[in-house]
Amino acid sequence: MTLQGKRRVAIAAAALAMISVAGCAPSKPKGGRRAPAAASDVAVAAQKTYVAPGDLDEYYMFSSGGHSGQVFVYGLPSMRHLGTIPVFTPYPGTGYGYDDDTRKMLGAYTWGDAHHPALSETKGDYDGRWLFINDMNGRVARIDLRDFKTKQILGPIPNVSGNHGSSFVTPNTEYAMMSSRFSVPIPLGTYAPIEKYATDYKGVVVGVKIDPKSGEMSLGWEIVTPPFDWDLGDAGKGVSDGWMFFTCYNSERGTGKLEVTASQRDRDYIAAVDWRLAEKSIAEGKGKMIGGVRVLDPREVPGLIYLMPCGKSPHGVDVSPDGKWIIGSGKLQGVTTAFNFEKVQTAIRNKDFIGDEDGIPVLKYESIKDAEVPVGLGPLHTQFGPDGFAYTSLFVDSAIAKWKLGTWEVVDKIPVSYSVGHLAAAEGDTVSPDGKYVVSLNKLSHGRHLSLGPSQPESSQLIDITEEKMKLLYDAFTEPEPHYAQIIKADKVKPIEVYPKEENKHPLATWDVKEAGPKREGDRVVVRTVVVRSTITPTSVEVNQGDTVTFAITNIEQTTDELHGFGLLGYDRNLVVDPGETKTVTIKADKPGVFPYYCTNFCSALHQEMQGYLIVKPRAGGDEKGRKHGEEHD
């Protein structure tokens, strides 16, 4: 047995001993909410989730941070929160949004609503290169998994209002997809009264092109659609590769109280989009420029998009690992429907339509479905295991159902606490799911933790799916708000520990303290700055009031973990510079006085000594005036 294995057994034994002691004490029911679990179950769960100090987790889980605009990184099975990747929101912890480059990337936005992470794929399998994530403000971002940093934010994308149905990637990361949740007149900025909703408001579906080498995103194409509310999506794979599926609600084209007006019909739709045809049509010069992008009208490109009737107000749509089935359901139903992709193709060939919506053919439900699986109430989202099992989250039942593809038999159900939205299985939306774990991303945590007052955390529960019956292993609590997560085998991700010196091509990188210091050109001052234990060089800089000052800071360490910060008091800036990295921060020195800068990231025994002064000399005769002006900084 390995040392690690031995340690695990010893610890499990200790846990067991602890539990048997605890087992003698009267259990303390909390408002009668929870039946105490059997001691043996607790011991097994403890052993399965315990990652001993120094040991590593087996999986990364990337969880969306919702309206925090961030991505949270967890280790599984421990469910430890390992880090936060700021994406659409400034984050002083890593200095994101304070240096010149990331400030520019965030633009004028101070928040984002990040919903659905999508790991890059090669042949339908996660390849560990990038993570994409959408923002409701019409944007999509790319995180590089080499350094876990946000490298690009594309958007706001023209014509998209409320980019919820995103950022699903295609099996070879050709595209990240987008769709609009809120239909509006396009291009954005166009006026039309609400009474004209059904005719003058439009939805759009967008293909965001991804460069296969660099991951760089660019605008591909758009398709205009009726004013439905597009919700979620999934890319076809295997037999259905080349197709993209999106759910929608409000096919009624209602306005006002949607809970009433958008619930008139029995069925809404899943749209099936032939994205290769979209690509080809754009290459042939089809489409019309709207809002600065080429937009295809389905009336002019027959075969581009079809509507599959689906239970009222569906949420998730999920394609089985072989691409054969498309799973979707009304979110107030008790069943989920398995649509058969071959039957969809046959129905298209036979023109087995029941009508159209603004020229988009509507397929016949009975002709394209294989089964209605009685999973339970409120099915939202489905993930897959390696053995033909599917796992569906049930919001109303507050449970997860396990069922079999092909036989459509529901074999198990496990309650969760409380009200699951999405769920994530280990590599559970790829062509080769891993099994092992499902994480239930719950909306409410209902006091299964120390109270934090009225603002309650969300809960993520780890469930063991290795046996026939699912077993709850662990409760973890998270900040708002994981809408969806993806779980990748840890050894597929290959992060660096320092930025190698030879890769640093920053024009202002400075590796020698002798070259550090200010250089003036007119009223612009560039301060080459070197940070290394335990000095910031230069230790003081004098400039004139009104100068534009750029600190170009290079952390010349090449040692793991040796981060340095650069907090500038009075000017509202804080950066963190990783080993080998150069970042710039520019301020307008409009306030006279003496402003300390210091290392914000604890780095050594003499971290506290790592400090200096920016001295801003008042304008001649402008002293009083300058000071007053200076009370507001930019």
Q: Site residues (CB under 6 A) for ligand CUA?
A: 564, 599, 601-603, 607, 610
Q: What is the DSSP letter of 113?
A: -
Cα 197 from Cα 189, distance rounded (Å): 15
- Amino acid 176 reads A
Q: Closest distance between ligand RUQ and the C-beta of residue 380, in Å?
A: 6
Q: Is 102 helix (H, G, I), strand (E, B) or coil?
A: helix
Cα 280 from Cα 174, distance rounded (Å): 14
Cα 375 from Cα 392, distance rounded (Å): 7
Cα 198 from Cα 249, distance rounded (Å): 14
Handedness of CA 444, 447, 453, 459 (dihedral sign): negative
Q: Closest distance between ligand CUA and the C-beta of residue 610, in Å?
A: 4
Cα 28 from Cα 54, distance rounded (Å): 33
- Binding test (CB under 6 A) with ligand RUQ, winner from 312, 483, 528, 564: 483
Q: What is the DSSP letter of 488?
A: E
Cα 214 from Cα 230, distance rounded (Å): 29
Q: Please state, as a whole number, how many other Cβ atoms lie within 10 Å of the Cβ of residue 448.
A: 17
Choose between 134 and 537: whose C-beta lies nearer to ligand CUA: 537
Task: Indicate the pairing of strand 524-532 with strand 548-555.
Answer: parallel
Q: Closest distance between ligand CUA and the C-beta of residue 528, in Å?
A: 17
Cα 346 from Cα 336, distance rounded (Å): 22
- Which residues are paired to 613 by β-bridges? 540, 596
Q: Closest distance between ligand CUA and the C-beta of residue 536, in Å?
A: 8
Choose between 323 and 421: whose C-beta lies nearer to ligand RUQ: 421
Q: Which partner from the list ligand RUQ, ligand CUA, none does 315 bind, CB cut-off 5 to 8 Å by kind?
A: ligand RUQ
Cα 30 from Cα 28, distance rounded (Å): 6
Q: Closest distance between ligand CUA and the C-beta of residue 578, in Å?
A: 12
Q: Which partner from the list ligand CUA, ligand RUQ, none does 331 bind, CB cut-off 5 to 8 Å by kind?
A: none
Instruction: Based on the shown chain and the rule CB under 6 A, indicate whether residue 165 belongs to the binding site for ligand RUQ.
Output: no
Q: Are 62 and 83 in contact (CB under 8 A)?
A: no
Choose between 115 and 436: whose C-beta lies nearer to ligand RUQ: 115
Choose between 602 and 625: whose C-beta lies nearer to ligand CUA: 602
- Binding test (CB under 6 A) with ligand RUQ, winner from 421, 433, 567, 618: 421
Q: Which partner from the list ligand CUA, ligand RUQ, none does 603 bind, CB cut-off 5 to 8 Å by kind?
A: ligand CUA
For 129-148, give the secondary structure using H, E and C: EEEEEEECCCEEEEEECCCC
Q: Are 617 and 543 in contact (CB under 8 A)?
A: yes
Q: Closest distance between ligand CUA and the C-beta of residue 96, in Å?
A: 18
Q: Are 563 and 577 in contact (CB under 8 A)?
A: yes
Q: Closest distance between ligand CUA and the C-beta of residue 540, in Å?
A: 17
Q: Which partner from the list ligand CUA, ligand RUQ, none does 525 bind, CB cut-off 5 to 8 Å by kind?
A: none
Choose between 95 and 328: whose C-beta lies nearer to ligand RUQ: 328
Choose between 420 and 552: whose C-beta lies nearer to ligand RUQ: 420
Choose between 530 and 599: whose C-beta lies nearer to ligand CUA: 599
Choose between 429 and 562: whose C-beta lies nearer to ligand CUA: 562
Q: Is 238 helix (H, G, I), strand (E, B) or coil?
A: helix
Q: Which partner from the list ligand RUQ, ligand CUA, none does 422 bind, CB cut-off 5 to 8 Å by kind?
A: ligand RUQ
Q: Are 633 and 572 in contact (CB under 8 A)?
A: yes
DSSP, residue by residue, 22-73: HHHSPP--STT--PPPPHHHHHHHHHHH---TT---SEEEEEE-BTT-EEEE
Q: Closest distance between ligand RUQ and the C-beta of residue 421, in Å?
A: 3
Q: Which partner from the list ligand CUA, ligand RUQ, none does 607 bind, CB cut-off 5 to 8 Å by kind?
A: ligand CUA
Q: Closest distance between ligand CUA and the C-beta of residue 512, in Å?
A: 18
Q: Closest distance between ligand CUA and the C-beta of residue 606, in Å?
A: 8
Q: Using N-to-C axis directions, what is the helix angle for 3-24 and 39-49, rounded to 10°?
A: 150
Choose between 436 and 483: whose C-beta lies nearer to ligand RUQ: 483
Choose between 609 and 623: whose C-beta lies nearer to ligand CUA: 609
Q: Closest distance between ligand CUA and the C-beta of residue 570, in Å?
A: 20
Choose between 204 and 363: whose C-beta lies nearer to ligand RUQ: 204
Choose between 235 and 599: whose C-beta lies nearer to ligand CUA: 599
Choose between 22 and 606: whose C-beta lies nearer to ligand CUA: 606
Q: What is the DSSP letter of 96?
A: B
Choose between 8 and 483: whose C-beta lies nearer to ligand RUQ: 483
How far, CA to CA in Å, does 184 sit from each of 194, 225, 359?
Answer: 9, 11, 19
CA trace torsion 182, 183, 185, 188 (10° rounding): 40
Q: Which partner from the list ligand RUQ, ligand CUA, none does 115 bind, CB cut-off 5 to 8 Å by kind?
A: ligand RUQ
Instruction: Based on the shown chain and the rule CB under 6 A, indicate whether residue 583 belongs to the binding site for ligand RUQ.
Output: no
- Binding test (CB under 6 A) with ligand RUQ, winner from 67, 202, 315, 402: 315
- Alpha helices (runs of H) in 234-308, residue ranges in sequence order: 258-261, 275-283
The DSSP H or E segment spanning 318 is strand 314-319
- Name the phi and psi angles at 432, rounded to 5: -140, 80
Handedness of CA 68, 229, 139, 234 (dihedral sign): positive
Q: Which partner from the list ligand RUQ, ligand CUA, none does 483 bind, CB cut-off 5 to 8 Å by kind?
A: ligand RUQ
Q: Closest distance between ligand RUQ and the C-beta of residue 115, in Å?
A: 4
The DSSP H or E segment spanning 393 is strand 389-394
Size of the site for ligand RUQ (CB under 6 A): 7
Q: Which partner from the list ligand CUA, ligand RUQ, none does 610 bind, CB cut-off 5 to 8 Å by kind?
A: ligand CUA
Rg (CA), the chain: 27
Q: Closest distance between ligand RUQ and the C-beta of residue 116, in Å?
A: 6
Cα 87 from Cα 65, distance rounded (Å): 9
Choose between 135 and 557: whose C-beta lies nearer to ligand CUA: 557
Cα 472 from Cα 459, distance rounded (Å): 13
Q: Closest distance between ligand RUQ and the C-beta of residue 366, in Å?
A: 28
Instruction: Based on the shown chain and the rule CB under 6 A, indicate whether residue 528 belongs to the binding site for ligand RUQ.
Output: no
Q: Closest distance between ligand RUQ and the C-beta of residue 304, in Å?
A: 25
- Binding test (CB under 6 A) with ligand RUQ, winner from 129, 422, 564, 583: 422
- Within positions 108 to 147, which residues make up the interface with ligand RUQ, using CB under 6 A? 115-116
Q: Which residues bind ligand RUQ (CB under 6 A)?
A: 115-116, 164, 315, 421-422, 483
